[in-house]
Amino acid sequence: MKAPIRPLKAPVGLLGGTFDPIHIGHLRPAIEARDALRLEEIRLIPNHIPPHRAHPLCSSEQRLAMVKLAAAENRGFVVDERELKRDTPSWTIDTLIELRNELPDTPLCFLMGMDSLLSLASWHRWQELLDYAHLVVSSRPGWQPDYPAEMADLLARHQTTRVQALHQRLAGHIWLADNQPVALSATRLRALLEAGQDVRYLLPESVAHYIDQQGLYRATGQ
Ligand code: ATP
């Protein structure tokens, strides 16, 4: 006799990043994915950065505090601290395997920008990512969808344009999002902050306030 098929829960979105700092280029595509794909939740997963590589003025605690502020004002957004709690860099594949074990009936949608998809073949065990999650790829100004052969092949085998497909399987599809492109990077934002320029509307007000209070990203001597 066949085992009964368990109904799947609503999919959860996962967004990993350095979030140094978190900005609208992270948040807008995630909000649009939440709504377009009917995601139950968006988990923001700040990456561990080795201390010698971290921005000298911004600690993991401060990146986490900013991610928490951003999550607090967005419906369904939560913060997952697991990668920060390790003192070694985590591979995405390891985080996905852990989450799959914790959420056996929940489709996982790993969100990324087009820049990340284009460099996916350099990720550790990248061919296995789709065994554990769907990939939801947002467009990002500056990165055209000119796919290297192995990505074109991956898309040919895994792309879907049906929202329902992401609800009906735990993993294995790629969704190319038709999101409003946001031309912003944390690098650009840090440069603006260092130059003492006004960054209003580029990140949540609460985060801008925190950066100001903590004196983050300022040019030395400012
Ligand atoms: P940095 O400039 O410091 O490299 P970043 O702005 O690219 O940072 P990350 O924290 O490295 O931000 O990115 C985390 C994830 O968010 C990645 O998958 C990246 O592709 C995506 N992302 C970041 N900015 C954008 C954007 N403007 N549009 C779409 N996706 C984005």
Mean pLDDT confidence for 148-152: 93
> To test ligand 1's pocket by mutation, which of 27, 48, 115 has the most ligand atoms within 8 angstroms of CB?
115
Q: Is the pLDDT of residue 51 over 80?
A: no
CA distance 73 to 117: 28
Q: What is the reported pLDDT for 56?
A: 57
Residue 47: the pLDDT is 94
Taking only the tens place, the pLDDT of each residue in 154-210 is 999 999 999 999 999 999 999 999 999 999 999 999 999 999 999 999 999 999 999
Measure 105 CA to ligand 1 centroid, in angstroms. Answer: 29
Q: What is the three-state SS of the chain?
A: CCCCCCCCCCCEEEEEECCCCCCHHHHHHHHHHHHHCCCCEEEEEECCCCCCCCCCCCCHHHHHHHHHHHHHCCCCEEECCHHHHCCCCCCHHHHHHHHHHHCCCCCEEEEEEHHHHHCHHHCCCHHHHHHHCEEEEECECCECCCCCHHHHHHHHHHECCCHHHHHHCCCCCEEECCCCCCCCCHHHHHHHHHCCCCCCCCCCHHHHHHHHHHCCCCCCCC
Would you say the CB of residue 117 lies under 6 angstroms from ligand 1? Answer: no
Condensed to tens digits (0 to 9), the pLDDT of residues 86-110 reads 888 789 999 999 999 999 999 999 9
At residue 112 the predicted structure's pLDDT band, cuts being 50, 70 and 90, is very high
CA of 214 from ligand 1 middle (Å) equals 23
Mean pLDDT of 80-88: 91
What average pLDDT does the structure give for the chain?
Answer: 94
Give residue 14 CA to ligand 1 midpoint distance, Å: 13
Average pLDDT over residues 208-215: 96
Q: What is the structure's pLDDT at 200?
A: 97
Burial call 160-193: b when 16+ CB within 10 Å, e when fewer: beeeeebbeebbbbbbbbebebbebbbeebbeeb
In the predicted structure, residue 50 carries a pLDDT above the cut 90: no
The residue that leads in pLDDT, 174 or 53, is 174
CA distances from 49 to 30, 64, 178, 189 (A): 22, 12, 31, 19
Instruction: Kindly tell me the burial class for residue 217, based on how many C-beta atoms sit within 10 Å of its own C-beta (0-12, 13-18, 19 or more).
Output: buried
> Ligand 1 within 6 A of 32 CB?
no
Q: 220 pLDDT exceeds 90?
A: no
Residue 221: pLDDT above 60?
Answer: no
**Ligand 1 atom showing the smallest separation from residue 184 Cα:** 27
Determine whether 122 is exposed, middle or buried from the number of CB atoms within 10 Å of its CB (0-12, 13-18, 19+): exposed
Structure confidence at residue 81 (pLDDT): 97
| Alpha carbon distances (Å) from 217 to 71, 177, 205, 208 | 21, 32, 16, 11
Please tell me the distance between residue 181's alpha carbon and the centre of ligand 1 in angstroms: 12
Whether residue 114 is predicted with pLDDT greater than 80 in this model: the reply is yes
Query: Ligand 1 pocket: which of 18, 32, 83, 84 to mutate (most atoms <8 Å of CB)?
Result: 18
User: According to the model, what pLDDT value does residue 212 have?
Assistant: 96
Specify the residue with its C-alpha closest to ligand 1, atom 21: 113
Q: Is 53 in the pocket of ligand 1 (CB under 6 A)?
A: no
